[in-house]
Amino acid sequence: MITMKFGGTSVGDLQRLQDVASIVQSYVPERPVVVASAMSGVTNLLLETATHALHRDAEAVKKNIESLKEKHLNVANTLLKDAARHRELINNQTTLIEELANLYRGVSLLKELSSRSLDAIASYGEILSCLQLAALLKDYNVPVEFVDARTLIRTDHHFGEASVDFDVTNRNIQTLLLPKVEQGIVPVITGFIATTDDCITTTLGRSGSDYTGSIVGAALDADEIWIWTDVDGVMTADPRYVNGAKVLPEISYREAAEMSYFGAKVIHPKTMMPAIEKNIPIRIKNTFNPSYAGTLISKKSGSSGSVVKNITSIDHLSIVSIEGNGMMGVPGVSARIFSSLARVGVNVMMISQASSEHNVCFVVPQKDCERALAELRKEFDIDLARKMIDDITVEDQVSIVAIVGEGMKGTRGIAGKTFTAVANADVNLVAIAQGSSELNISFVVKQAEVRKAVQAIHDVFHLN
């Protein structure tokens, strides 16, 4: 049994949808279980339209709903051959889009847009997409059944990026989905979406369909979990930004998790977790080039010849520094910093503290920085007034660069080589961190200089 997740680009246009249908058809003997995303661009469109609704920009809302409708109905009208099936799909999609328009109306009337509403709105992308993929697969004589993941995947109420309750979810998948697969049915499951125990729609975070793929694959004890996308596999760097990036044939779960956490968009960081528990290999494959083996992600790190496997970067970050002589040797300062951030739900991406303890700095998403800063000033107001802490400062528009590879552990000179390359590229280092796992070295540079830094490191380790 193979779980196959198809990303937005794989179901994003007429040609790709036909390719996906052929791929699934050819794997029917292997009992595929299909998970799919919204058509590419649709989730962004849905969320952007919600903002227009909030601002009561009725024209923009109307225009976007029209374009959403056209995009989906065009697939039905062009690709579906069976008349009854065509009619049924058009009816279903039209009803869904009317429902969605009502949600937008609600947002406009109430002038309120919560993360709970955003999840409800975003869920339409996957539902519309999977309904049409299921209909198309029926035209290809694949014995499919559309499955709304909300009947299977149970989460908490953390809207926008909910946490999965694996006890309930695994039980649901085993009792509701497995019997279908055993009967020879090919389920087409909506990625990304889930529900709480009181049936409120949640999402698993942006790009969360990858995670759905591995949740389902692990619960079914699949032989492999395949993530179909628009590149040949996990590459040494983001191919959009780095010249000479090449495909890695094999990487370990830990390397994949580390890379994706530090910005390799090709796979969602949580995807590895369910697979690790059951030791199920994940394969990244290209819908545009299906015969290519892709990248195998498993326990083994593989031998690519280089200890550094991959260079990633994340933009739109801020670095916050807290400085003061009064911090030296005082226990609990770090605890207070990170508790404050946790209270306002801000995720810390990197931490660095020199051994003098005179300065602690950490990196947060720029969009959360103001919230973080307000809470920190509240927490440390007495310390600031007494000059125990001199100041809390922020630099916006910075990026984290991370170099990842299991072989870095115990290999000398990696950091030296990295930072020399960065210096030779005339890029200034703002802060540095290395986890004691030695699986990754990360550092902060100005966002304007990040491409230069990434390319320089990619070149110096001969990853091309």
| Residue ranges in contact with ligand ADP by CB under 6 A | 7-10, 37, 40, 207, 229-231, 234-235, 237-240, 264-266, 310
| Among ligand ADP, ligand ASP, Mg ion, none, residue 234 binds (CB under 5-8 Å by kind) | ligand ADP
When the beta carbons of 191 and 405 are compared against ligand ASP, the nearer one is 191
Residue nearest to ligand ASP (CB): 209
Q: Output the smallest distance, CB 239 to ligand ADP, in A.
A: 6
Q: Output the smallest distance, CB 382 to ligand ADP, in A.
A: 45
Q: Output the smallest distance, CB 283 to Mg ion, in A.
A: 15
When the beta carbons of 173 and 264 are compared against ligand ADP, the nearer one is 264
Q: Output the smallest distance, CB 111 to ligand ADP, in A.
A: 33
Q: Output the smallest distance, CB 7 to Mg ion, in A.
A: 5
b/e map of 293-302 (b: 16 or more CB within 10 Å)? ebbbbbeebb
What's the rounded Cα separation, in Å, for the pair 351 and 336?
Answer: 14
When the beta carbons of 160 and 290 are compared against ligand ASP, the nearer one is 160
| Among ligand ADP, ligand ASP, Mg ion, none, residue 191 binds (CB under 5-8 Å by kind) | ligand ASP
| Among Mg ion, ligand ASP, ligand ADP, none, residue 38 binds (CB under 5-8 Å by kind) | ligand ASP
Q: Output the smallest distance, CB 423 to ligand ASP, in A.
A: 37
Question: Which token pair is 438?
Answer: 């030695």
Among 155, 207, 287, 312, binds Mg ion (CB under 5 A): 207
181 and 4 Cβ atoms separated by less than 8 Å? no
| Among ligand ASP, ligand ADP, Mg ion, none, residue 43 binds (CB under 5-8 Å by kind) | ligand ASP
Q: Output the smallest distance, CB 71 to ligand ASP, in A.
A: 14
The footprint of ligand ASP (CB under 6 A) covers 7-8, 37-38, 43, 125, 191-192, 206-210
Strand-pair category, 32-36 with 2-6: parallel
Q: Output the smallest distance, CB 453 to ligand ADP, in A.
A: 15
SS3 of the chain? CEEEEECCCCCCCHHHHHHHHHHHHHCHHHCEEEEECCCCCHHHHHHHHHHHHHCCCHHHHHHHHHHHHHHHHHHHHHHCCCHHHHHHHHHHHHHHHHHHHHHHHHHHHHCCCCHHHHHHHHHHHHHHHHHHHHHHHHHCCCCEEEECHHHCCEECCCCCCCCECHHHHHHHHHHHHHHHHHCCCEEEEECCEEECCCCCEEECCCCCHHHHHHHHHHHCCCCEEEEEECCCCCECCCCCCCCCCCECCEEEHHHHHHHHHCCCCCCCHHHHHHHHHHCCCEEEEECCCCCCCCEEEECCCCCCCCCCCEEEEEEEEEEEEEECHHHCCCCCHHHHHHHHHHHCCCCCCEEEECCCCCEEEEEEEHHHHHHHHHHHHHHCHHHHHCCCCCEEEEEEEEEEEEEECHHHCCCCCHHHHHHHHHHHCCCCCCEEEECCCCCEEEEEEEHHHHHHHHHHHHHHCCCC
| Among ligand ASP, ligand ADP, Mg ion, none, residue 20 binds (CB under 5-8 Å by kind) | none
Residue nearest to ligand ADP (CB): 7
When the beta carbons of 358 and 452 are compared against ligand ADP, the nearer one is 452
Give the per-residue contact string, 77-96, with Mg ion (x = CB under 5 A; - = no): --------------------
| Among Mg ion, ligand ADP, ligand ASP, none, residue 208 binds (CB under 5-8 Å by kind) | ligand ASP
Burial of 171 (0-12, 13-18, 19+ CB in 10 A): middle
| Among ligand ADP, Mg ion, ligand ASP, none, residue 231 binds (CB under 5-8 Å by kind) | ligand ADP
Q: Output the smallest distance, CB 223 to ligand ADP, in A.
A: 21
Give the per-residue contact string, 366-385, with Mg ion (x = CB under 5 A; - = no): --------------------
* Unique residue bearing structure tokens 């039209």: 94
Window of 93-101, 119-127, 204-212, 289-297 that interacts with Mg ion by CB under 5 A: 204-212
| Among ligand ASP, Mg ion, ligand ADP, none, residue 298 binds (CB under 5-8 Å by kind) | none
| Among Mg ion, ligand ASP, ligand ADP, none, residue 213 binds (CB under 5-8 Å by kind) | none
Spatial strand order in the sheet of 391-404: 350-353, 359-365, 310-323, 391-404, 440-446, 431-434
When the beta carbons of 346 and 454 are compared against ligand ADP, the nearer one is 454
Q: Output the smallest distance, CB 202 to ligand ASP, in A.
A: 13
Q: Which residues contact Mg ion by CB under 5 A?
A: 7, 207
